[in-house]
Amino acid sequence: MLLFSAALIAGLILLIISSDKFIEHAALVAEKLNVNPMVIGVTLVAFGTSAPEMVVSTMAALDNAPEIAIGNVLGSNIANVALVFGVTLLFSAIPISKGLITKEVPLVIGITLLTGWLLHDSYLSFYDGVILLIAFAFILFTLLRGSKNLESQLKEELPENDGDSVAKSLIISLIGLVVLIGSSKLLIWGAVGIAKGLGVSELVIGLTIVAVGTSLPELAASISSVRKGLHSIAIGNIIGSNIFNLATVLPIPGLISPGAIDPNASGRDYYWVLGLTLALSILIFVFGKSKKATIPRWIGIPLIGSYIAYLLLISFGSTV
């Protein structure tokens, strides 16, 4: 058990570090090769926040552990709203932009409802994965369409040129990718070992330890953003991550390893995702219409409390 725990912790740490390095230097390589900045920016916007979940889910599906992949997605969305946003609010109240109400909120509700419809039969098929990817294309088009100063906004996503050669950036990027894949496999091996050792399902491990671990980049980014006064980025990161988790990460086990899923995932866990998504949307709508258009800090307490309640709920009746 100690070996599995060490593997999981090491896998999480390496996953977060290598994901950041891989994305940053892959973007730098593209930049130095004169790839259109718009293309790089769109790629970073679409995949940057969900890269750890995407790689872990891919490796889990390839290793015949789709429950970890599905648990990772649903658990990350639950953790993002209840834990990440809750903790972020403890640091600062969050102002709400009008665009959030009119664009991002309807999209996150829409993709969450679509996911529920696809999972209601407790089966994630290849065609479910295709439908979610089509939804992703629509979402990306909607997010980018009509954005003011789109080109300048996307260019802001690009990392600053470090002055190194293309070869050096490419080598660092490739090393990051190798470590990213290796750390994902290490994390999954540790997670499966812990699940068997504790007598709990792989789904539960995916919903908790793996999900929280892959949500750490969102937590770090959100806290960093509010401390710098970039409050809109904090809430945008969370909503964006939840959208892309469902639209780009959840399709992976469907495309690679389609089949029946644990009824708890399509029932209990999905309804927590839906409930928290609707709760966050209501908070944004209600406080967004107020004079201050700000979500107050005290809201963080019930959000964190809801996450504790969820952990207590899934701790009962979990068997392999």
Report the CATH number that the domain containing residue 214 is assigned in CATH: 1.20.1420.30
Domain that holds residue 154: 2-314
Query: What are the C-alpha distances in Å from 189 to residues 46, 59, 221?
Result: 28, 10, 27
Q: What is the dihedral of CA 78, 81, 87, 88, to 10 degrees?
A: 150
Classify residue 71: in a domain, yes or no.
yes
How many structural domains does the chain have? Answer: 1
Q: What whole-number distance in Å separates Cα of residue 5 and Cα of residue 249?
A: 25
Average pLDDT for runs of 10 along the chain of length 320: 76 71 67 57 58 78 81 90 90 79 86 94 92 91 64 53 66 75 74 74 78 74 69 73 89 88 88 94 85 85 93 69
| Token representation of residue 298 | 């005290």
Q: Is the dihedral of CA 270, 272, 275, 277 positive or negative?
A: negative
Position 98 in a domain: yes
The 10 Å CB-count burial string (b at 16+, else e) for 126-155 is eebbebbbebbeebbeebbeeeeeeeeebe
166 lies in some domain: yes
Q: Are strands 259-260 and 294-295 parallel, antiparallel or unpaired?
A: unpaired
122: left (phi over 0), alpha (psi -120 to 50) or beta: left
**319 domain-assigned:** no
Which pLDDT value is given to residue 276? 95
Following DSSP, what letter does each residue of 206-219 receive, concatenated? IIIIIHHHHHHHHH
Burial of residue 202 (CB within 10 Å: 0-12, 13-18, 19+) is: buried
In a domain, 320, yes or no: no
| 236 falls within a domain | yes
In a domain, residue 38? The reply is yes
SS3 295: strand
- Residue 23 in any domain: the answer is yes
Q: Check residue 64 and give its pLDDT.
A: 79
> Taking the CA of residue 18 as centre, how many other CA atoms within 13 Å lie in the half-sphere pointing to its CB?
22
Neighbours of 99 (CB within 10 A): 15
pLDDT of residue 319: 45
User: For residue 262, which phi and psi values (nearest 5 degrees)?
Assistant: -55, 125
- What type of residue sits at position 194? I
